[in-house]
Chains A and B, each alone.
Chain A
Amino acid sequence: MTEFLAKPLIDGNNFLQLLWFFVIALVFAIFLFLDGIDFGVGMATRVLAHNGDERALYMRAVGPHWDGNEVWLITGGGAMFASFPLWYASLFSGYYLLLFIVLVGLILRGVSFEFAAHAVTDRERNVWQWANFAGSVIAPFGLGMMLTSVIQGVPMDAQGNVHAGFFDVVNWLSIVGGVAVVFFSFLHGLHFLSLKLDEKTSERMLNTSKKVYWIAYPALVVFVILAFIFTDFYQRRTKSTLLITVVILAATICGHLSAYKKRGGFAFISSGVTLAGIIAFIFNGLFPNVMIATDPSKSLAVSAASSSQYTLEIMTIVLCCLLPIVLIYFIWSYFIQRKRLLTDNTPEAIKAALAQ
């Protein structure tokens, strides 16, 4: 067993290093799948809601879940710290200001739910609803930018410090990447709302979704072209990158069709897969590195960034024990609150039935 665990399998990485690289990618994909809902709903409060009460209703739809969803990001950060400390150190210090902006976004979004609930006047509540919207746009945009900037390669020194200039962080690909994450989060939020609100509003969500979806196709084409120019993913990891591209495209088409067919559930899964696909695209392309340097010899490899074998073993045992339990009650919390919310549009018959 110990022999197997220490044996290099792919590109000099042993089993546990590969496993944890996969775990980090998985946790970030789950994070975007779940918190994408909250971001999208936050955007919808400005784009679709007619008034403050509707905004409050949208926010209520994610009220019980947004905090748990955000914990996946915290877990991703913590797991990265534990299993790849050098990656954690380089990435977070290298993208200092961008990450800071993401944090400010998450702070605004995080307090807005509770504060809006305590507001008395519409005007006061509106301030926190704006905070929710702003945070819900800033955070995914910043995260999208960071992830798509990382994959282009940044100047690094021998100690692994990232010396990213302004245009390493802000460029065509990273802006398109940020917009793409915001855009698909928005669709994802619409699809979630279509499952949580009354039928009339749900229809409105899907109608908007099916119109907005048309932008996805040119956006994806631009993204692929830019990724082809600015990264070596299609040259270096051709098959897997192409496969993921196809999955993203298929999920997009599937989501679009579902929106047309008024199948909110399918649309929701599809837009979630698209978001997770973006993460898969990035992590798959990074491998076998975690950080790509402009000077390839200074890139940070998975095996070089990882923790000691002992720490990885401990963390693997902990993960195997805890993750199943977490998943059980996490899914349970969604399951018990799966019903549509009551609104002014809810037929009286249903309200009466529920009141009993």
Chain B
Amino acid sequence: MTVLGLSRFQFAMTTVFHFFFVPLSIGLAFTVAVMETLYVVKRKYIYKRMAQFWGKIFLLSFAVGVVTGIIQEFQFGMNWSNYSRFMGDIFGAPLAIEALLAFFMESTFIGVWMFTWNRFKPGVHVVFIWLTWLGSTVSAIWILAANSFMQNPVGYGINKKTGHAEMTNFAAVIGNPQLWREFPHVATGALMLGGMVVVGMSAFGFMHKNADRAFFTRSIRVGAIIALIGSILVIITGDLQTLEIIKDQPMKFAATEGIYEDLKSPAPWMVVGLINEGAHKSAGLEIPGMLSLLAFHKLYGGTIQGMNTLNQQFLGERGKIIKNGIAHPEISDYYVPTNVLFWSFRFMAAVGFAVLILAICTLWFTRKSKNTLADSRWKLWVLGVCTYLPFIGTTGGWLITELGRYPWIVYGLQTIADAVSPTATVPSLLFTNIVYFLLFCLMGGVMIFYSRRVLHQGPEPDPEGATQPATEGSHVGAHAANRKVALA
């Protein structure tokens, strides 16, 4: 256990956990906003009940997302102070703008949205949830702007006196091509995830005794449509992002495909395979010519460089990565954690297609002329378990993005080893890692427990008829059954 190892573990753990709730919140905010918009447009009371019911899950997710997000904001200074010193001039700006532009918007309007169902006309109230969604989506742009710089540094210069990176062109930093490939992929991935979670949870909802079938049928269909659109878009945007990564980070691309030796076009695509990281060899089931199609969208797009070539090339260009007298034998070459990248990519891609298929199936089995889903236990179980599926995909995506820049924290400019806080100690890091881990287990567990409870309690009963009653006492997120607190 080293300071570096523990700091990396902490960063991985906190970001992965945080990123369960980011796409969930963005995706559910969108889904809820769509439901409430349907209520405004169609004037059917069921849509309001849907927005309020799924809004409860959204609020739970948002709460956990907010508190795990605070850790991220401070972590760069706490664990990675040399990174902050080196990069702060560029990295701090998007973070500050994220807070000003996005965090205020989402946190203010979510507070307004939660407590003002009876205060505003539906047409006005729906604006608040859209603004919340907009805020969380805009926040993704800015944090990804910061992340894109770590992947593909642009618009900067190195100050000779201090040795620190300085911003020279703000437009270039936001115009980073990496950002505009990354953001659509993340944003559409969030929609896919949000839709799929509604589909999966609705499936569980059907299984409950006395389930409100009309309610869950409508919910599952809205969820499935969003998941369907999201999964198609996420596959397209992912493909576009790959085209960029081959150019900017060839090592990352080679690792996701497990390519050690150069491949001449038309290159075969290894669907699954075994990778020996020590011997730098890989072998598996291949589809001829497929990789060239994936990478260049044509059979004869050019040679795809393997990791061995790239490693030699980097060693020639930059030499070994031992700096500041810190010996890091484990990163004396430029290989990335290939097994993790290879399998993360496969899981991610598989999830994208699986959600696509599940969404189509859901829509088919709930079609108006022959709605059979609710009576088919095994189908409901499959969909229910698949609530968790998209999380594997989004986590895989982040592992590829972040481990793929190894050993760099800022690609080509600073290594991860050089970025840690010099004052950090193993005992303090061990302590914080353990506490964070326990807190995350607790929050994750409670989150799932309460989500299930919301599901079991079911939606607010539909007051007779489909029209809205004069006074109605439900308040999303306010209080569970029979609390005395009234709202003014």
Contacts and interface: CB of A to CB of B under 8 A. Distances in A.
Residue among A111, A163, A322, A354 with max Cβ neighbours from chain B (10 Å): A111
A124 to B, nearest CB: 10
Contacts of A53: 483-485
A60 interface: yes
Contacts of A63: 111, 114-115, 478
B60 A77 contact: no
Interface in A36-51: none
B428 A311 contact: no
A349 interface: no
Interface string B419-439: 001111000100110010001
Contacts of B47: none
Contact of B85 (A56, A85, A103, A114): A85
Given A67-B110, A110-B66, A94 B423 contact: yes
Contacts of B1: none
Nearest to B84: A89
A114 B423 contact: no
A340 B201 CA distance: 37
B9 interface: no
Interface in A46-97: 53, 56-57, 60, 63-65, 67-68, 70-71, 73-75, 77-86, 88-94, 96-97
Interface stretch (A154-162, A229-237, A252-260, A277-285): A154-162
A78 B98 contact: yes
Interface stretch (A174-182, A200-208, A325-333): A325-333
A222 to B, nearest CB: 30
A176 B301 CA distance: 69
A341 B477 contact: no
B208 interface: no
Residue among B66, B79, B90 with max Cβ neighbours from chain A (10 Å): B66
A339 B488 contact: yes
Given A64-B111, A93-B421, A336-B116, A74 B85 contact: no
Interface in A293-330: 307-308, 310-311, 314-315, 318-319, 322-323, 326, 329-330
Contact of B67 (A82, A89, A111, A308): A111
Nearest to B128: A333
B92 A159 contact: no
A23 to B, nearest CB: 10
B192 to A, nearest CB: 25
Nearest to B62: A114
Contacts of B423: 93-94, 96, 161-163
Contacts of B471: 355
Contacts of A80: 92
Interface string A203-235: 000000000000000000000000000000000
A113 interface: yes
A342 B487 contact: yes
A110 B67 contact: yes
| Interface size classification for chain A | 35 or more
Q: Is the interface of A mostly helix, strand, loop or mixed?
A: helix
A315 B74 contact: no
A71 B103 contact: yes
A114 B488 CA distance: 19
A311 B97 CA distance: 12
Interface stretch (B211-219, B328-336, B446-454): B446-454
Nearest to A106: B70
Interface stretch (B166-174, B257-265, B273-281, B302-310): B166-174
Contacts of A308: 89, 159, 166-167
Residue among A64, A329, A343 with max Cβ neighbours from chain B (10 Å): A64
Nearest to A85: B88
Interface in B64-88: 64, 66-71, 73-74, 76-79, 81-82, 84-85, 87-88
B63 A110 contact: yes
Interface in A147-167: 159-163
B340 interface: no
B124 to A, nearest CB: 11
A354 B439 contact: no
A351 B82 CA distance: 59
A337 interface: yes
A1 interface: no
A104 B97 CA distance: 25
A320 to B, nearest CB: 11
Contacts of A10: none
Nearest to A163: B423
A265 B90 CA distance: 43
B485 A114 contact: no
A323 B99 CA distance: 11
A344 interface: yes
Nearest to A86: B85
Contacts of B66: 67, 70, 110
A65 B70 CA distance: 17
B166 A310 contact: yes
B315 interface: no
Nearest to A120: B480
Contact of A91 (B77, B424, B439, B477): B77
Given A96-B78, A117-B477, A311 B89 contact: yes
Contacts of B79: 93
Contacts of A118: 56, 60, 450, 453-454, 480
Contact of B81 (A57, A79, A89, A333): A89
B140 to A, nearest CB: 15
Contacts of B108: 68, 329-330, 333
Closest 6 CB pairs of A and B: A85-B88, A92-B77, A82-B92, A81-B92, A64-B111, A93-B81
Interface of A: 53, 56-57, 60, 63-65, 67-68, 70-71, 73-75, 77-86, 88-94, 96-97, 99-100, 103-104, 106-107, 110-111, 113-115, 117-120, 159-163, 307-308, 310-311, 314-315, 318-319, 322-323, 326, 329-330, 333, 336-337, 339-344, 346, 351, 354-355
Given A81-B96, A92-B77, A326-B104, 7 more contacts: A74-B69, A81-B95, A89-B81, A111-B67, A118-B450, A161-B423, A326-B100
Interface of B: 56, 59-60, 62-64, 66-71, 73-74, 76-79, 81-82, 84-85, 87-93, 95-101, 103-105, 107-112, 114-116, 119, 159, 164, 166-168, 170, 421-424, 428, 431-432, 435, 439, 443, 446, 450, 453-454, 471, 477-481, 483-488
